Amino acid sequence: MIVRRAINGERSEQLPLTCQQTFILTTGRSVEEISKIRQNNVNPILNPLYKKPLLIHQGHMQWLFDNDGKRYLDMFGGICTVSVGHCHPTITEVVSEQFKSLVHISNLYHQPKLFEYSKKLAEKMPGDLKVVYLLNSGSEANDLAILLARLYTGNNEILSLKNCYHGMSYQTMGLTSISHYKYPVVPPVAMHNVMNPDIFRGIWGGSHCRDSPVQTSRQCSCSSSECQACDKYIDVLKNEFRSTISRGKLAGFFAESIQGIGGTVQFPKNYIKKAYEIVKDNNGLFISDEVQTGFGRTGDHFWGFEGHGIIPDIVTMAKGIGNGFPMSAVVTTKEISQALTKASHFNTFGGNAVASAVGLAVLEIIEKEKLQQNSKEVGTYLLTELGKMKQRIPNIGDVRGKGLMIGVELIESDGNFTSLSHDKYESFFEKCKDMGLLIGTGGFNKNVVRIKPPMCITKEDADFTLEVIEKALLATIH
């Protein structure tokens, strides 16, 4: 049964059959009670997104339901995490069955699910990327990748791009280059952030530079076959080695295939490929952060780095890997993995039986339900229609992305690409929620709409999203 669409915040009278069987209207606690508990007993950094906090009670595929029974289309997927759908029936069954037999033992013992999943995941990787280390979060994965790079190369210097996000552990906070996520403490040593090759906000770039169905309206002198902006940003990267890093002393270079929290920023064509060559010339390892771009989300490829024409030395992944279950992975070559044997190292929960069973189910669902292809088809449609909306509404400054990893940068209509004010963006954000649409926010000025939904969404969902965004935006700016 299909949920009927309406932009009016109605209660859900027609739910999918599985929801009808299990849906309970209320949790027994009000928003006010939950808010009081939050104020007294929960870490104060966990602030609600909305003026009136959402109390989410249940999910089903691309839908979420609050404790009053109101339905929302989830176009953010738990920050790009719910890859195949909330409470996907296959995963629910797999978890239930696994809990009946084995939940957790130390991975000092053998349990088959860890090995089955590691083999299945390795089969999805190109080249010599065949050794898997399972952990619990993206921060842990990137933290381990730093350690591997330093152990293997014998060097210490780590590079990442400005505007990037790679985690919130103490060490990955050094990789991350967005000040909102950096605490005023002594930073980790030997970590450097280099100029971000941002086609829309950066010094160079324009309408020929991006691998996306929608190009920026900024003009440039590049051609379809040669990107001058790429070359200029690469010159800046080369200068980093002249001024900051001793030649041949690089441990690793981290890059997201498309920057996520930074606002779905795409790099000029061939930038990552040329950066890879510079990294190798300086004896470093190239680490691809696929936490948000992996598992088919970009549509054309299973991994975002494949769209850049490289095979990294190390790949880190999390979020969509477990469809919301806390798990992550580092994948590398046999040669590099040997560096970790220089001391003892283990992760208590990484690769436990339940996590591995979930990981297997996610890979099987993506393949069986053709979710990578769906990401390409629905995502390209959504991007194209958002591009058309940009021509109608001057407050849309840029539309970018691939597949179902999409960013819409909102601006003031002053002709200067000034970021939409916080008050206006907050009003727009609230209006979308009130009309039953959940979206994300990104970018340094928090003016970028982030669309990263469960990959099971339909063209109908895309149309609903387009309708709400346009209606909410027009109501905000007029």
Task: Give residue 46's pLDDT.
Answer: 80
Domains 17-40+56-88+372-477 and 93-368 are alike in CATH topology? no
447-459 mean pLDDT: 98
Retrieve residue 268's tokens: 């000029």
Examine the pLDDT at 106 and tell me if it is beyond 90: no
DSSP symbols for 287-346? EEE-TTTTTTTTSS-SSGGGGGT---SEEEE-GGGTTTSS-EEEEE-HHHHGGGGGS---
pLDDT digits (tens, 9 = 90+) for 186-230: 999 999 999 999 999 999 998 888 999 999 988 888 877 788 999
Which bin fits 403, alpha (ψ -120 to 50), beta or left (φ > 0)?
Answer: left
- Per the prediction, the chain carries an average pLDDT of 91
Task: Give residue 346's pLDDT.
Answer: 86
Which residues neighbour 282 within 8 Å (Cβ) at sequence distance 6 or greater? 241, 245, 247, 248, 249, 250
pLDDT digits (tens, 9 = 90+) for 10-34: 434 444 433 433 455 555 677 788 8
Alpha carbon distance 213, 244 (integer Å): 37
Examine the pLDDT at 393 and tell me if it is beyond 90: yes
Examine the pLDDT at 424 and tell me if it is beyond 70: yes
**Pick from 24-38, 93-107, 236-250: least confident:** 24-38
- What CATH number does the domain located at 93-368 have? 3.40.640.10
51-76 mean pLDDT: 92
Task: Give residue 47's pLDDT.
Answer: 80
CB 398 within 8 A of CB 216: yes
Task: Give residue 26's pLDDT.
Answer: 52
What is the band of 9 on the pLDDT scale with cuts at 50, 70, 90?
very low
**Pick from 5-14, 22-31, 91-100, 286-295: least confident:** 5-14
Examine the pLDDT at 310 and tell me if it is beyond 60: yes
Task: Give residue 15's pLDDT.
Answer: 41
Label the pairing between strands 285-289 and 191-194.
unpaired
Domain parsing of the chain, residue ranges:
17-40+56-88+372-477, 93-368
- What CATH number does the domain located at 17-40+56-88+372-477 have? 3.90.1150.10
What is the band of 6 on the pLDDT scale with cuts at 50, 70, 90?
very low
Examine the pLDDT at 231 and tell me if it is beyond 60: yes
Of 100, 188, 196, 117, the residue nearest 150 (C-alpha): 188
Alpha carbon distance 104, 126 (integer Å): 30
* 139 vs 35, higher pLDDT: 139
Task: Give residue 416's pLDDT.
Answer: 84
326-351 mean pLDDT: 95
Examine the pLDDT at 320 and tell me if it is beyond 50: yes
414-421 mean pLDDT: 89
Alpha carbon distance 292, 277 (integer Å): 24
Per-residue CA distances from 376 to 78, 86, 354, 406 (Å): 20, 20, 30, 12
Burial label, 309 (beta-carbon count in 10 A; 0-12, 13-18, 19+): exposed
276-285 mean pLDDT: 95
What is the band of 1 on the pLDDT scale with cuts at 50, 70, 90?
very low
